[in-house]
């Protein structure tokens, strides 16, 4: 969790009011004209003093709120839910008061740094609330209840009571379509209870957004990218157009292989793919079905998950290996408090939020991760991702409080994944996990494995917030929530549910980021930018081979340039931060095309004669 007040915490959803700072002058009486002096225009110094005081107050509140949120996430019960809701309400009211005061400075010609801070106070908000303690309390209670409902959800299957982890294990490993369908539908029995709360939350949040001067929450979210909302929405579609052809070829190949495995009755040769067959509870990554769809003649010769288990890796060793990668780039070791205070193993004695996340409790050095680590290749990658947040948090901790976050939210998500792209066979050999590097003939298998996670994710990363934009704009009402969700999933992903959905279904709520109110566009952007960062880093390192073979492990010169970008935080517009490391000012999907170029050739060959699309 990056900054509770400003970066996506459900319990501290913020709100601002658009109250005018100057009351209208009443009509004067002709017989006794009155002169009303206009209030003096605030000065730049007054704006600077206001922001300094606001940052001090927010920093003090954030420390307390962060600790409450940490306890609630790692020890869920009625009492911690109550504390989180109370803290969230206080955070809303603090934000409302400070945001109202920013209205005084509208029209003042402020220096860039002060103007950025004012904009952050006004628009750097996840779920706003209108003015008033009662509605702030209601919003905080709803958001806490949504997250707790998700975190404690369970379903009885075959005589066992299973939580998300247990049901996900079935989706990831089973090849029985009936069992997959039962587990998939079982998890989605948790979310219908959220629908009423979610609809009410949307009402409150949109009212708060309107008080801020935005048409709705969708416009507010899209206002945080240093460009007009409509321009950012167009930018997203431009990036998608760059990577869509590769996704469509991958989809076509995977569908054909699933048809070979399951037959026409389960997975037809044409149309969308049945979502429960793709090895992930949300069909957002497909790596778990590699044995069914992979390149059999291009076996890399090792299974990282099995190697980690055989080498007796435990949860701490997984994380220490990730730390060692960052250390090889020149970053200082994590503090002792990280190891004492993080939750890297699922407790056996209480309910927790297992969804992996990174935290900075004091916005300085108290960095932590929270995850129910499993000893497998997927969590080996996840560890690097979460640590990327922590190293970013430490890099910008000398910035002013309001700049202690990513250049935009996609940066924060891209950092660790960019580093994880260097988990190549060469790297695994260097740290002793494999004995020899597979030959070039194994590259197609490695690229297919990457694509099943990285490329398969792209349309899902895009459509989650497209659904929320439609909801916040009022284009989709509660009665149509589920139909709109599946319309977008089919449009962008080409996937469909395994059977008809119940009338009360609220399948969006079965994905953590919906009840957790975490904007999702950041992940789509990060999946584009991590390859852009990777290409720039490999060029800096002087790498001349195939992009997918490059690892920057041990390159301290690249690490220095990387850290220089991280240290900027949000103090400059994101194109400045991007340029500092990559030399370009535009997000670009061409690095993805280059990275997967050999796989694209293979997929087109495999798909010759197949009817692609859906």
Q: Quick check: is 38 in a domain?
A: no
Domain match, 333 and 200 both: no
Domain match, 249 and 104 both: no
DSSP conformation class of 7: T
Q: What's the pLDDT band for 213 if we cut at 50, 70, 90?
A: confident
Based on the residue annotation, tell me whether 513 is a catalytic residue of this protein.
yes
Q: Are 12 and 5 in contact (CB under 8 A)?
A: yes
Domain match, 241 and 324 both: yes
For residue 111, the enclosing domain spans: 10-21+43-153+190-215
- Give the active site residue among 55, 386, 413, 470: 386
- 484-520: per-residue pLDDT in tens? 999 999 999 999 999 999 999 999 999 999 999 999 9
- Give the active site residue among 389, 513, 534, 548: 513
Domain match, 109 and 250 both: no
The helix (run of H) or strand (run of E) holding residue 155 is: strand 155-157
pLDDT > 70? residue 421? yes
pLDDT > 80? residue 29? no
Domain match, 259 and 199 both: no
- 296-354: per-residue pLDDT in tens? 888 888 899 999 999 999 999 999 999 999 999 999 999 999 999 999 999 999 999 89
Can you tell me the distance from the alpha carbon of 296 to that of 291, in angstroms, rounded to the nearest whole number? 8
Q: Quick check: is 181 in a domain?
A: no
Reduced to 3 DSSP states, what percent helix, strand and coil does the chain have, rounded to the nearest 5? 60, 5, 35
Alpha helices, DSSP H only, in 20-77? 44-74
pLDDT > 80? residue 13? no
Q: Quick check: is 222 in a domain?
A: no
Please report, for residues 61, 122, 432, 527, 563, the alpha-carbon distance to residue 396 in angstroms, rounded to integers and kept in the order given: 19, 22, 33, 22, 9
Domain match, 287 and 146 both: no
Q: Are 146 and 10 in contact (CB under 8 A)?
A: yes
Domain match, 210 and 275 both: no
Based on the residue annotation, tell me whether 253 is a catalytic residue of this protein.
no
pLDDT for residue 17: 29
Q: Are 596 and 451 in contact (CB under 8 A)?
A: yes
Please give the structure tokens belonging to residue 7. Answer: 């970066």
Q: Are 533 and 595 in contact (CB under 8 A)?
A: no
Domain match, 496 and 434 both: yes
Please give the structure tokens belonging to residue 403. Answer: 């700049």
What sign does the dihedral 597-599-605-609 (CA atoms) show?
negative
What sign does the dihedral 305-309-315-318 (CA atoms) show?
negative
Alpha helices, DSSP H only, in 396-520? 409-420, 425-430, 443-472, 481-488
| Phi, psi torsion values for 553, nearest 5 degrees | -50, 130
Q: Quick check: is 53 in a domain?
A: yes
pLDDT for residue 26: 32
The whole-number average pLDDT for the span 398-420 is 94
Question: CB neighbours of 166 closer than 8 A, spacing ≥ 6?
Answer: 160
CATH assignment of the domain containing 380: 1.10.1370.30
pLDDT for residue 133: 79
User: What number of other Cβ atoms are within 10 A of residue 269's Cβ?
Assistant: 12
Domain match, 90 and 194 both: yes
pLDDT > 80? residue 6? no
Q: Quick check: is 160 in a domain?
A: no
Can you tell me the distance from the alpha carbon of 272 to that of 275, in angstroms, rounded to the nearest whole number? 9
pLDDT > 70? residue 7? no
Can you tell me the distance from the alpha carbon of 195 to that of 149, in angstroms, rounded to the nearest whole number? 11
Q: Quick check: is 379 in a domain?
A: yes
pLDDT for residue 99: 79
pLDDT for residue 400: 97
pLDDT > 70? residue 9? no
Please give the structure tokens belonging to residue 227. Answer: 């460009």
156: which strand partners? 161
Can you tell me the distance from the alpha carbon of 150 to that of 163, in angstroms, rounded to the nearest whole number? 10
Q: Are 371 and 357 in contact (CB under 8 A)?
A: yes
Please give the structure tokens belonging to residue 275. Answer: 């979502």
pLDDT for residue 122: 85
pLDDT for residue 38: 58
| Domain's final residue, options 215, 248, 269 | 215
Q: 367-370 and 357-360: which strand pairing? A: antiparallel
Question: CB neighbours of 487 closer than 8 A, spacing ≥ 6?
Answer: none
**pTM of the prediction?**
0.88
The string over 122-155, giving b where at least 16 C-beta atoms fall within 10 Å of a residue's C-beta and e elsewhere, is bbbbbbbbbbeeebbbbbbbbbbbbbbbbbbbbb
Domain match, 242 and 194 both: no
Alpha carbon distance, N-terminus to C-terminus of the chain? 38
pLDDT > 80? residue 228? yes
Can you tell me the distance from the alpha carbon of 240 to that of 167, in angstroms, rounded to the nearest whole number? 31
Can you tell me the distance from the alpha carbon of 92 to that of 210, in angstroms, rounded to the nearest whole number? 16
Question: Across the chain, what does the average pLDDT equal?
Answer: 91
Can you tell me the distance from the alpha carbon of 103 to that of 567, in angstroms, rounded to the nearest whole number? 30
Q: What's the pLDDT band for 441 if we cut at 50, 70, 90?
A: confident
pLDDT > 60? residue 8? no
pLDDT > 60? residue 595? yes
pLDDT for residue 279: 97
Range with the poorest average pLDDT among 184-193, 211-220, 550-559: 211-220
Domain count, the chain: 2
32: which strand partners? 29
Q: Quick check: is 220 in a domain?
A: no
Domain match, 275 and 372 both: yes
Q: Quick check: is 581 in a domain?
A: yes
- Report the share of the chain in percent with pLDDT over 90: 82
Domain match, 209 and 255 both: no
- 90-114: per-residue pLDDT in tens? 887 788 788 778 888 989 999 999 9
């Amino acid at each position: 969790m990056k900054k509770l007040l400003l970066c996506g915490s459900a319990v501290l959803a913020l709100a601002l009011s658009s109250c005018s700072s100057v009351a209208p002058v009443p009509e004067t009486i002709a017989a006794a004209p009155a002169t009303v002096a206009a209030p003096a225009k605030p000065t730049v110094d007054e704006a600077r003093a206001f922001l300094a005081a606001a940052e001090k107050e927010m920093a003090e509140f954030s420390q307390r709120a962060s600790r409450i949120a940490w306890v609630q996430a790692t020890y869920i019960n009625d009492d911690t839910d109550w504390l989180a809701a109370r803290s969230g309400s206080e955070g809303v009211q603090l934000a409302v008061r400070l945001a109202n005061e920013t209205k005084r400075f509208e029209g003042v010609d402020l220096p860039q740094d002060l103007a950025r801070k004012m904009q952050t106070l006004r628009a750097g908000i996840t779920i706003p609330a209108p003015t008033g303690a009662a509605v702030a309390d209601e919003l905080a209670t709803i958001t806490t209840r949504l997250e707790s409902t998700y975190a404690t959800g369970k379903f009885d299957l075959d005589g066992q009571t299973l939580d998300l982890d247990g049901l996900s294990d079935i989706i990831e490993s089973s090849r029985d379509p009936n069992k997959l369908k039962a587990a998939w539908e079982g998890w989605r029995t948790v979310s219908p209870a959220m629908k009423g709360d979610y609809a009410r939350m949307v009402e409150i949040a949109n009212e708060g957004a309107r008080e801020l001067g935005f048409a709705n929450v969708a416009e507010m979210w899209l206002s945080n990218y240093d460009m007009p909302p409509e321009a950012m929405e167009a930018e997203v579609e431009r990036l998608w157009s760059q990577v869509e052809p590769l996704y469509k070829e991958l989809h076509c190949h995977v569908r054909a292989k699933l048809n070979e495995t399951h037959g026409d009755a389960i997975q037809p040769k044409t149309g969308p793919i049945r979502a429960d067959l793709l090895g992930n509870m949300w069909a957002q990554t497909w790596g778990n079905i590699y044995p069914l769809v992979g390149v059999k003649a291009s076996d890399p010769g090792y299974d990282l998950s099995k190697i980690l288990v055989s080498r007796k890796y435990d949860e701490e060793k997984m994380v220490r290996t990730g730390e060692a990668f960052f250390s090889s780039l020149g970053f200082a070791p994590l503090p002792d408090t990280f190891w004492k205070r993080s939750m890297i193993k699922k407790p056996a004695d209480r309910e927790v939020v297992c969804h992996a996340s990174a935290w900075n409790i004091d916005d300085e050095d108290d960095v932590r991760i929270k995850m129910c680590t499993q000893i497998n290749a997927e969590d080996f990658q996840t560890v690097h991702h979460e640590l990327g947040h922590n190293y970013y948090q430490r890099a910008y901790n000398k910035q002013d409080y309001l700049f202690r976050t990513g250049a935009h939210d996609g940066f924060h998500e891209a950092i660790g994944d960019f580093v994880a792209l260097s988990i190549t066979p060469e790297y695994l050999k260097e740290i002793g996990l494999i004995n020899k590097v597979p030959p070039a003939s194994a590259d197609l298998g490695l690229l297919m494995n990457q694509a099943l996670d990285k490329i398969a994710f792209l349309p899902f990363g895009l459509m989650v917030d497209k659904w929320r934009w439609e909801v916040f704009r009022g284009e989709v009402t509660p009665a149509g929530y589920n139909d709109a969700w599946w319309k977008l999933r089919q449009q962008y992903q080409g996937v469909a549910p395994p059977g008809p959905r119940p009338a009360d279904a609220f399948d969006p709520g079965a994905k953590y980021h919906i009840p957790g109110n975490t904007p999702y566009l950041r992940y789509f952007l990060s999946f584009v930018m991590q390859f852009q960062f990777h290409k720039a880093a490999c060029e800096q390192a002087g790498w001349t081979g195939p992009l997918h073979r490059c690892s920057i492990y041990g390159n301290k010169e690249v690490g220095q340039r990387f850290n220089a970008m991280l240290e900027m935080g949000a103090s400059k517009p994101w194109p400045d931060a991007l340029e500092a490391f990559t030399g370009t000012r535009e997000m670009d999907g061409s690095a993805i095309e280059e990275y997967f170029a050999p796989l694209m050739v293979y997929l087109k060959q495999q798909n010759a004669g197949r009817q692609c699309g859906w």
